[in-house]
Amino acid sequence: MSNATTVERAAAPAFGPACLDATPAAARAFVRASAAHPAAPVVSSPSVSPPSARPAQRRFLVHIDIDAFFAAVEVLLNPSLKGKPVIVGGLPHERGVASTCSYEARKYGVHSGMNLRNAYKLCPQGIFVRGSYQVYQAFSDKFFSILHEYTPDVEDASLDEAYLDLTRCRHLYPSFSGTARRIKERVERETGLKVSVGVGPNKILAKLATKRAKPAGFFEVEPGREEEFLRDLGIESLPGIGPKSQVILRMLNIQKIGDLWGLPRTTLHSIFGLGGDDIYLQSRGIDSRPVVTSAIPKSVSRETTFLEDLWDRRLLLAHLAYLCDRLTLALRQGHCYAHIIEVKARYSDFKTEGRRRLLITPRQEMGDVYKIAEELFLELYSGSRLSLRLVGVKASDLVRARPLSLFEPYSDRQERLGAAVDQVREKYGFGSVLTMREKMLEAIYQFEKKRGFVLKTASLTR
């Protein structure tokens, strides 16, 4: 299936047979030592000639992805679900979509992103689970801690997906594909979850290799066979080509990646802008993006779609307060301050609007953020006849340290209060401390519940 020999020859063993099966004390030492020195970004080759174009120094990238992650965790925690169609995302009557489903559920046509009612119609015997983010996060942490033992150059693409660049560590690993296989075995053994692994000279090829490998497989795009590998893949397999772009390309009679090779770069650029340049290069297997390690997040957001559309301003503001509370908790946990606060509203007709504010002094505390969010929300939702199906709040342009302001006397009162609240919540749960608005929200929910009317999906005790 793979020609590991080519790779093995390319990477002459730097030390003796003892390291062949290393998990490697040596690797761990190297990883620790080099973690402080990120790899230099790879300089992009301007070459745009046909598919065989490759960078001067071949890189060794591994893409690894946990199969049906949330569903697999649910099965692991409850073995009686094994072999059954498991659908994670919510209960069948709820407003929501499947975020993951087991391969057994996929046989019925259920897929992630499908709305729960339709999933239920296709698969009434399915086992519907709401899921628990904290549990998935814990599995994800374990997954990444294993990966970090092999190289410092690990990029977390999502909770269940990572890129590893082994190029800098090549002296530790006599065989790249052999190492990638061992990583796969180890993750599976230690987490109990099945993963798919792709190996290639850059991110796009490694990722497409993983797609080929699914489920639970391994695939390497061997040197010199990139063109053959790419030619017959459907355009939809290229990241960045979503439903809208597919429609446009199919009108041009472009169905496969190989068909894209006939389009000039200028044409793709004129249709898709910068995204068109990416399509041009990636369809040829050219990708110089480096593996990016542990950057500060660009944004953090929290939002809720209500079980029933709401128009009552008290309820909406109370819910906004709850979202700000969760948002600022995440900011404090990430040691981030936000320069931009944004509020989002989605009306019953699905039209979505947002309002944002740029802050001179970045913020992190509940009181500050809620005040801004409330103003933005009232600006947005004043006098509308439509009810809302969603509200959300987002913080972006994040920085680590709060710069001092010349014009505001610095007081850490808010920060100390926030830290104290966080501590109590860590010990006794989120619901152990609530703002006035949240208490009101909780009271209204309880009241409505007694009348048999359930208002929302999220729970304040989260």
Q: Which one of 117, 250, 416, 449 is in contact with DNA (CB under 7 A)?
A: 117
89 binds DNA (CB under 7 A): yes
How far from the centroid of its chain's Cα atoms is residue 171's Cα? 31
234 binds DNA (CB under 7 A): no
297 binds DNA (CB under 7 A): yes
**Pairing of the two strands 299-310 and 86-88:** unpaired
Tokens, residue 272: 């898709």
Is 161 known to be catalytic? yes
Question: Measured between alpha carbons, how far is 99 from 105 in angstroms, rounded to an integer?
Answer: 12
Question: Measured between alpha carbons, how far is 355 from 28 in angstroms, rounded to an integer?
Answer: 47
Q: Is 335 left (phi over 0), alpha (psi -120 to 50) or beta?
A: left
Q: Which one of 325, 389, 438, 441 is in contact with DNA (CB under 7 A)?
A: 389
Which residue type is seen at 445?
Y
* Integer Rg of the chain from CA: 25
Question: Measured between alpha carbons, how far is 372 from 414 in angstroms, rounded to an integer?
Answer: 16
Q: Where are the alpha helices (DSSP H) in 123-242?
A: 133-147, 176-191, 203-213, 226-231
Q: Which one of 8, 149, 303, 442 is in contact with DNA (CB under 7 A)?
A: 303
Going 116 to 117 to 118 to 123, the CA torsion angle's sign is positive
How far from the centroid of its chain's Cα atoms is residue 125's Cα? 29
245 binds DNA (CB under 7 A): yes
Minimum CB distance to DNA, residue 55 (Å): 20
158 binds DNA (CB under 7 A): yes
157 binds DNA (CB under 7 A): yes
Q: Which one of 62, 86, 206, 241 is in contact with DNA (CB under 7 A)?
A: 241
What letters, b where the CB count within 10 A reaches 16 and e where it falls short, cover 134-143?
A: eebeebbeeb
Contact status, residue 309 vs residue 388, Cβ threshold 8 Å? yes
Compose the 306-345 pattern: x for residues touching DNA by CB under 7 A, - for all others: ------------------------x---------x-x---
180 binds DNA (CB under 7 A): no
Minimum CB distance to DNA, residue 334 (Å): 8
Interaction residues for DNA, span 205-224 (CB under 7 A): 207
16 binds DNA (CB under 7 A): no
36 binds DNA (CB under 7 A): no
> Helix, strand, coil: what percent of the chain each, to 5?
45, 20, 40
Q: Which one of 288, 301, 361, 414 is in contact with DNA (CB under 7 A)?
A: 301
Minimum CB distance to DNA, residue 107 (Å): 17
Catalytic residue, candidates 155, 161, 220, 342: 161
352 binds DNA (CB under 7 A): yes
112 binds DNA (CB under 7 A): yes
293 binds DNA (CB under 7 A): no
392 binds DNA (CB under 7 A): yes
251 binds DNA (CB under 7 A): no
Instruction: Provide DSSP, 14-31.
Output: SS-GGGTT---HHHHHHH
115 binds DNA (CB under 7 A): yes
Q: 50 vs 113, which CB is nearer to DNA?
A: 113
Using a 10 angstrom Cβ sphere, with 0-12 exposed, 13-18 middle and 19 or more buried, the burial of residue 342 is buried
383 binds DNA (CB under 7 A): no
| Site of interaction with DNA (CB under 7 A) | 65, 89, 95-97, 99, 112-115, 117-118, 157-158, 160-161, 207, 238-246, 273-275, 297-305, 330, 340, 342, 350, 352-358, 389-390, 392, 394, 396, 457-458
What residues act catalytically? 161
